[in-house]
Structures are given as structure tokens and as C-alpha cells.
Copies of this chain bind each other. A is one copy, B any other.
Amino acid sequence: MRLQEALDGRWAHVRQAARDRLAGGRFVAVPGETIGQARARVTRLLRELPADLCAAGFPAEYGGAGDAGAAVVAVEMLGFLDLSLMIKAGVQWGLFGGAVAALGTRRHHDSFLKDIVSGDLLGCFAMTETGHGSDVHRLQTVCEYDPDTESFDLHTPYEAARKDYIGNAAQDGRLAVVFAQLVTGGRGHGVHAFLVPIRGADGEPLPGVTIGDDGHKAGLLGVDNGRLSFDHVRVHRDMLLDRYGGVALDGTYSSPIDDDARRFFTMLGTLVRGRVAVGGAASSATKEALTIAVRYGETRRQFTAPGRDREVVLNDYLAHQRKLTIALATTYAFTFAQDELVATLHEVQSAAEPVDEHRQRELESRAAALKAAQTWHATRTIQTCREACGGAGYLAANRLPGLKADTDVFTTFEGDNTVLLQLVAKGLLTGYRDSFGSLDGWGRTAFVAEQVREMVLERTAARSLIHRLIDAAPGGGDERAFTDRGWQLAMLEDRERHVLDGVIRRLRKNSATRERPFDVFNDVQDHALKAATAHTDRVVLEGFVAGIERSADPAAHALLSRVCDLYALSRIEADKGWFLEHERLTPARAKALTGIVNGLLKELRPQMTTLVDAFGIPDEWLASAILREEPRRQEEMASGS
């Protein structure tokens, strides 16, 4: 069965190259290191990674492969090996190098990209400040142009404005892309990015630069996160990354985009790749945890049962299947949705001409939705896998503690998930129009017109296929089988539309009745977040459906189809309160749904290991002691008793 081929998707060749070229245990995380050991090892390994694979996003002339999609997929693959190394590579090539490439112009590229790609010049992406992480529009670092010296003055006015949590800052970075409020001629032009040397060749901070260390973290010990403060540091005029805004010698500001906020969000939009990569790497860690828990659950036995000679293997228990198989199905769904997202990213970022704004906004919204969904799924699922392995799951040698601790921050970095879902909701409400303002209480959303939602609800890939499936069978909900794909799609689409209608209705009403403008939005915040998750569920299911359609192998197609049933129906089951409340399910049908899900779990029981094997994670990458030890122990016990 060609299941792995279906999962490997469009960049299968990159995945296979990673399996081959990063084979063995050399790049695999090492449990129990001190922070010093972890940082030293990861810094060393970063330079040993094949740049043409891991930095594939850069143009070939600078050492890359000019393949944006491949770059994201390579980072996803590093997620199987060592999440510190993945983040370190992501900081160097994705955030730092990516910002130089996307926000800089030819002279920056020619001066720096080659050394960035080769790893000879390590750098930082210094956006987040201690006081502002989510609302980056309001960063407090100031960079003011002085026409007399023809240079900028970069300054941190108070502690809350220092750059914080910056990867590569505490130990390795020599150059930083620093985001700061650009001021010239006494006037602010919003946030811009500057290339700022922070360390000399001796590794010491340069004059005026103060570097702090974020110290011990929950995980990612191999990443040297730190803090940067600037005391009136002089920055050469050439070091403004000026693709979206430049300052002439006399201090005159010019930009192809007039509005400050709109310009900044356009700049941010070019950096979407990091968010896409984090979602994908979160799913890599999830796949690794599931592979460990499912394989362990296939050998580990506990409790006797009548009619069984030996104790029962954990995977035979319904409660275990409820934990692991549903998480597996969800992970499959995300894999296909992520593959589609990477393809969209690749298409947008490889286009000769800038793509239209609608397409760019759609990419950002999908990236936000899938990043939030995949990272929360990782946090929950790795936790579940840890628990499913009992005490063994708590030992560092069995890998799960590292996966959990390292991915934990994924839910709040590269965009806090709750904030990201708000952005998704805002996009849904405004139909991607007029979405460049800050999250200013959503006051403007009250003016949203009905018709813009048509655009939002546009179906994803394989639009005609999904259209056909939904319209395939006549009749209402109760006449269609639970496993009718069209019914599943229609349920999720209908929920999204209905929730969105409700949010709009309430916002309109609130605008007229609430005394405090803040309450207009805040009163419906939970409802708006629900719109975003309902939207995400629908997009993910459509991605899964389209992915199955691409699978040519009949056996793989059939199995994927059952997994897709489990994904769709478990999502509906998880929110059956909503479907009942809105009379989309009758009580009798809602009760029956639980039986259908349990039936699917039973049907998929023999396929649990097949499903994790198809993730294609080399044994040496798994590096979990129990996978070697438990089968031997069970044999000893069986023969010894």
C-alpha cells in the first residue's frame, strides 16, 4: 500500500532527501544535557546541516535552491530530529535570512545572503519586545534618522522595549534584523527593519549593545534565546532593509505603500513562511510521539481478560484507541492540509509578479489557522502520548518529555494562537478586505456587508470535487449516512456559515446598544474564536478530501477514506452540543454518532501501526529506548511464566 507516498505529498523528494542525507543518529536530540552542552551541540550541528536542503528557499546564486516549498518541508523534517536544531535553523535561514531576503534589496542580498546561507554569518530576528509580542504594530524601539551624520540612531527607551526571546542572541548571533519605529524629520513612519551588527569578531557585544540571556526555559535548551537593548547605537543608512520604505540622504521618506499600518502588515506578510514551518514542525513532533505511543501500545500488555491467554495489549482497549486513533486521524488531516498550504505558499512566493492581495491574505489566514490548529494539537497529543506510555513516558530516554517541552512554546510564538485565531476571525468577517488595522476592538466590523462572506466561504483545493460531493445526494441531513463525505463536508460548511452569521448579527446589535466600544467586540470574542475554529475544521477536511483524491493506489485510497471518516465524525462528535443546539443533529442521530465513531476505531484497530509507519520516520530518528526494550521484555515474560 502506497500510504507513505500519499502523505509525503508534493515535496516527497525533499522528505526522502532528508531521510537519506540526515540518516543515523547524528542530528537526533540528546536527552538530559545541560544548557551549555545543548547550545554547543546545536550550534555545531547547525553548521553541519546541508544548506542546499535546509536553506533551499534562497536563490541558487546564494547557495539555496530557489524552492520556497522545499525550504518549509526541510524544516518540517528537522522537526523529527531535534526541535532545538529545527528552531535554530528556522531562526537563521527562515526568520533572519528570510527577512534579509524579503525586506532587503539587492545590495543587502549581495552583501550578506551567501554567508547567511553557508552559516558563516549567524544572525537574529529581533522583532518581539518584552512589552509587545502579539501587538508588534506598537513596538517601542525607536530608530531615528539624523541627516547630519547620515545614519540612524537606534534606541531602547525603557526595559519593556528591549528585544526579548530572540533566538541566536544570547550566544551566537553577530548581526540582527531589528524592528523599530522609523522616525525621520520628526515624523514616524511605522515599524521598519534594520540590519544591526551586535557582536564583534571576538564574540563580545558591540558598543551600545547590551545582550542578556533568557536562561533556562521549559525546553529548546539548544536555542540561545536572549535579550537585546540599544543605547543610541548608530546604524548606517544602508542598513535599513528598504524594499518597502527608504530614507534619502536628506531624510526624505519614500515608500511604494502610503499607509504605515498597511505597509507594516505587507512586510509581515512576506514573513509568513516561518509560521507555516512551525505548524509543520509541530505536526512532525506529533507524528513522532504517536509513532512511539502506538508502537509501545502494540507490545505493552496490562490486565488479564476472560477468553484471553495473555494480558491484553494496550491498543486493544477502546479508551486507548479513543486517545490515539482519533489523534492519528487528525494528524493525517493536518498533513494533507499542510501540504496544500505549502503549495499555496510556494506558488505565491515563487510568482514572477506579486500575486493579488486576496490570494496573499488567504495564504496568511490559512497559515494562521493551521499554525494554531497544529500546535495546539501537538501540545494535546504529545501529552496524551506521554500519558499513554505511563511512567516510561516520563523518562527522558524515551523521548516524549523532550518532544513535549520543546514544542510547548509553539502555541504562543510565531503568533499567539488565540491572537492568530482572532486574525482568522477578523479575516472571515471582513472578507480579507480592510484588514490592515490593528485589532482595535474590532469597531469597524459592524459595517461588514453580508456579501463579502461569499469570498471567505470559497472552497479550498479540489473545489469542484467538494462541490460535487456535497451536492451528490438529495435530501436533508437525517437521510444521509454518517460516512457520506458530502454530508460531512456540508455539516462543517454549514456550521462555519451559521456561526459567522451569528457573530455578525451580534456585532451589529452590540454596535447599537453597548455603551463601551470595547464591549462591542469583547462580548462576542468567544463566538468569533469559534467561527475561526469552525473555519479551520472545514478547511482541513477539504484539504484531506483533496489529498485522498490524489492518491492513485486503491488500497491507500480506501484506508485514507476511513481515516477521513474518523476525522470528520470525531470533529462533529466533539462539537455535538453545537449541532444539537442548532438542530443539525437530532438527539437520536447524535447518540448513534458515538457508536459509529467507536465502530471506526474498531475497524481501524488493525491498521494503527500501518498508519504510524506511513509517517516514514527512520528508526534511528525515533530514539526511544522503550521501543527497543519493551518487545524483548514481553518475550522474556511470556517464556518465563
Which residues of A line the B interface, CB within 8 A?
31-32, 34-35, 128, 130-135, 138, 140, 157-161, 164-165, 214-219, 302-308, 311-312, 316-319, 322, 379, 383, 386-387, 390-391, 393-397, 400-401, 404-405, 408-409, 411-413, 416-418, 438-441, 443, 516-518, 521-523, 525-526, 529, 575-577, 580-583, 587, 590-591, 594, 598, 629, 632-634, 636-637, 640-641
What would 5 more interface pairs be, CB under 8 Å, given A134-B303, A383-B383, A581-B587? Answer: A34-B34, A161-B637, A214-B395, A218-B396, A575-B577
Given A391-B412, A396-B216, A408-B386, verify A306-B441 contact (CB < 8 Å). Answer: yes
Q: CA–CA, A588 to B282, complex, Å?
A: 39
Please tell me which one of the listed residues B215, B416, B576 contacts residue A395 in the complex, with CB atoms under 8 A apart. Answer: B215
Question: Separation in Å of the A384 CB from the closest CB of chain B?
Answer: 10
Question: Separation in Å of the A61 CB from the closest CB of chain B?
Answer: 36
Question: Separation in Å of the A374 CB from the closest CB of chain B?
Answer: 15
Q: Determine whether the beta carbon of B518 is less than 8 Å from that of A311.
A: no
Q: CA–CA, A138 to B135, complex, Å?
A: 57
> 28 interchain pairs (CB within 8 A)?
A130-B633, A132-B302, A133-B390, A134-B302, A135-B303, A135-B304, A135-B311, A158-B636, A215-B397, A218-B386, A218-B400, A303-B439, A305-B521, A306-B518, A307-B518, A318-B525, A318-B526, A322-B526, A383-B383, A383-B408, A390-B412, A391-B409, A391-B413, A393-B412, A401-B408, A404-B408, A575-B577, A576-B581
Q: Determine whether the beta carbon of B140 is less than 8 Å from that of A637.
A: yes
Q: Determine whether the beta carbon of B581 is less than 8 Å from that of A590.
A: yes
Q: Determine whether the beta carbon of A217 is less than 8 Å from that of B394.
A: yes
Q: CA–CA, A633 to B303, complex, Å?
A: 56
Given A32-B215, A319-B525, A319-B526, verify A307-B517 contact (CB < 8 Å). Answer: yes
How many copies altogether?
2
Q: Determine whether the beta carbon of A522 is less than 8 Å from that of B316.
A: yes
Question: Separation in Å of the A155 CB from the closest CB of chain B?
Answer: 12
Q: CA–CA, A576 to B632, complex, Å?
A: 46
Q: Determine whether the beta carbon of B517 is less than 8 Å from that of A440.
A: no
Q: Determine whether the beta carbon of A160 is less than 8 Å from that of B319.
A: no
Question: Separation in Å of the A108 CB from the closest CB of chain B?
Answer: 28
Given A391-B165, A637-B160, verify A517-B412 contact (CB < 8 Å). Answer: no
CB contacts (< 8 Å) of A522 on chain B: these are 316-318
CB contacts (< 8 Å) of A441 on chain B: these are 304-308
Residue of A133, A157, A418, A440 contacting most chain B CB atoms (<10 Å): A418
Q: Determine whether the beta carbon of B216 is less than 8 Å from that of A397.
A: yes
Given A305-B440, A440-B304, verify A390-B134 contact (CB < 8 Å). Answer: yes
Question: Separation in Å of the A126 CB from the closest CB of chain B?
Answer: 14
Q: CA–CA, A440 to B217, complex, Å?
A: 44
Q: CA–CA, A140 to B633, complex, Å?
A: 12
Question: Separation in Å of the A31 CB from the closest CB of chain B?
Answer: 5
Question: Separation in Å of the A58 CB from the closest CB of chain B?
Answer: 28
Question: Separation in Å of the A179 CB from the closest CB of chain B?
Answer: 16
Q: CA–CA, A629 to B130, complex, Å?
A: 11
Q: CA–CA, A412 to B131, complex, Å?
A: 38
Q: Determine whether the beta carbon of A218 is less than 8 Å from that of B411.
A: no
CB contacts (< 8 Å) of A214 on chain B: these are 395
Q: CA–CA, A443 to B636, complex, Å?
A: 29
Q: Determine whether the beta carbon of B636 is less than 8 Å from that of A218.
A: no
Q: CA–CA, A128 to B379, complex, Å?
A: 28
Q: Determine whether the beta carbon of B31 is less than 8 Å from that of A160.
A: no
Given A304-B138, A580-B581, verify A158-B218 contact (CB < 8 Å). Answer: no
Question: Separation in Å of the A73 CB from the closest CB of chain B?
Answer: 26
Please tell me which one of the listed residues B161, B302, B396 contacts residue A217 in the complex, with CB atoms under 8 A apart. Answer: B396
Q: CA–CA, A411 to B521, complex, Å?
A: 38
CB contacts (< 8 Å) of A580 on chain B: these are 576-577, 580-581, 587, 590
Question: Separation in Å of the A600 CB from the closest CB of chain B?
Answer: 13
Given A32-B216, A577-B580, verify A302-B135 contact (CB < 8 Å). Answer: yes
Question: Separation in Å of the A223 CB from the closest CB of chain B?
Answer: 11
Q: CA–CA, A394 to B521, complex, Å?
A: 29
Q: Determine whether the beta carbon of B412 is less than 8 Å from that of A394.
A: yes
CB contacts (< 8 Å) of A322 on chain B: these are 526
Q: Determine whether the beta carbon of B582 is less than 8 Å from that of A587.
A: yes
Q: Determine whether the beta carbon of B217 is less than 8 Å from that of A401.
A: yes
Q: CA–CA, A296 to B131, complex, Å?
A: 12
Q: CA–CA, A308 to B312, complex, Å?
A: 61
Q: Determine whether the beta carbon of A216 is less than 8 Å from that of B302.
A: no
CB contacts (< 8 Å) of A165 on chain B: these are 391, 394
Q: Determine whether the beta carbon of B517 is less than 8 Å from that of A317.
A: no
Q: Determine whether the beta carbon of A636 is less than 8 Å from that of B159.
A: yes
Question: Separation in Å of the A511 CB from the closest CB of chain B?
Answer: 11
CB contacts (< 8 Å) of A637 on chain B: these are 131, 140, 158, 160-161
